[in-house]
Structure 1
Amino acid sequence: MSHSRRLTAVAALLAGLSVALGAFGSHALETLVTPQRLDTWDTAVHYQMFHALALLWSGLYLQHYPHRGVLTSALLILAGTLIFSGSLYALVLLDVPALGAITPIGGVILITGWFTLAWHLARRH
């Protein structure tokens, strides 16, 4: 399976999980966590969905225009999403505030992924 097909499959999986986790937060967590923690959960869900769509676009782009820089940026966005959203999910579920210290690492990786994508797209065209 090509990198682009794997990426689009992972993107679809992340998007579907985002919907499921959003529903879980709205229905199952609503009475179990504080409103602040529920907002944290919602932030994780939103970031996951937006970046799943970015990964889907990247995978589709790569099917037509294979480019190592775009693949690199997509992998950075994937890693950043897993770390950013994953740390927020863990923070809410485990109620360990120290996990919040991991979230900015994911954010920096996401920013790096977006800047890498911009750099490579600008150079390509």
Structure 2
Amino acid sequence: MEKIVLNIATLYGALGIIFGAFGAHALKKVFSEELLKSFETGVKYQMYHALVLLVLGFQLSFTETIEKSAAWCLILGTFLFSFSIYGLCLSSAKGKKLRFLGPITPLGGLLLVMGWILLGISFL
């Protein structure tokens, strides 16, 4: 499990840098200020959780179910939250907003919150 968490952390980190640069340069000309802020929110949350997963990958043994569950909630939550924001922003800029992604963002946020709560419980 440690290797999975560390590999996903580094993937999220690398993609966060790529998406951040893409947003700051290429999308700046295409996106409205509001869309750019939303896109940046996705990048920030992705980077925050990439760093958290990196630390957890080195610090936790993942022998307890609660540790594994926390990690999976953070991994899936980051993917659903950030990538749904990217999809919403990109589709909105093209005039064809993918509305089905709207409910996915809060679901990702809920998984992130659950991951943090489970992580806190595992420390008790």
Q: Count residues with an aligned counterpart.
A: 119
What TM-score, normalized to structure 1?
0.89
Deviations 1:4-59 (A, max 9, x none): 01211110110111011000000000011111000000000000000011111111
Aligned partner (choices 53, 77, 81) of residue 80 of structure 1? 77
- Structure 1 counterpart of 2:110: 108
Contact kept? 2:78, 2:108, Cα under 8 Å = yes
Please list every run of at least 4 consecutive aligned residues from structure 1 whose deviation after the TM superposition is greater than 4 angstroms. none
Query: 1: CA distance between counterparts of 2:80 and 2:7?
Result: 19
What does 1:46-85 align with in structure 2 at a 5 Å threshold? Answer: 46-63=44-61, 66-85=63-82
- Aligned-residue Cα RMSD (Å) equals 1.3
Query: 2: CA distance between counterparts of 1:67 and 1:31?
Result: 48
C-alpha displacement of 1:100: 2.6
Query: 1: CA distance between counterparts of 2:81 and 2:43?
Result: 10
C-alpha displacement of 1:97: 6.0
Deviations 1:106-125 (A, max 9, x none): 11110011001101111xxx
Contact kept? 1:70, 1:121, Cα under 8 Å = no
Q: Equivalent residue of 1:72, what SS?
A: helix
- Structure 2 counterpart of 1:94: 91
Structure 2 regions of 5+ residues with no counterpart? none
Deviations 1:76-119 (A, max 9, x none): 00000000001100001111162233211111110011001101
What TM-score, normalized to structure 2?
0.90
C-alpha displacement of 1:67: 2.9
Aligned partner (choices 38, 43, 58) of residue 36 of structure 2? 38
C-alpha displacement of 1:72: 1.2
Structure 1 regions of 5+ residues with no counterpart? none
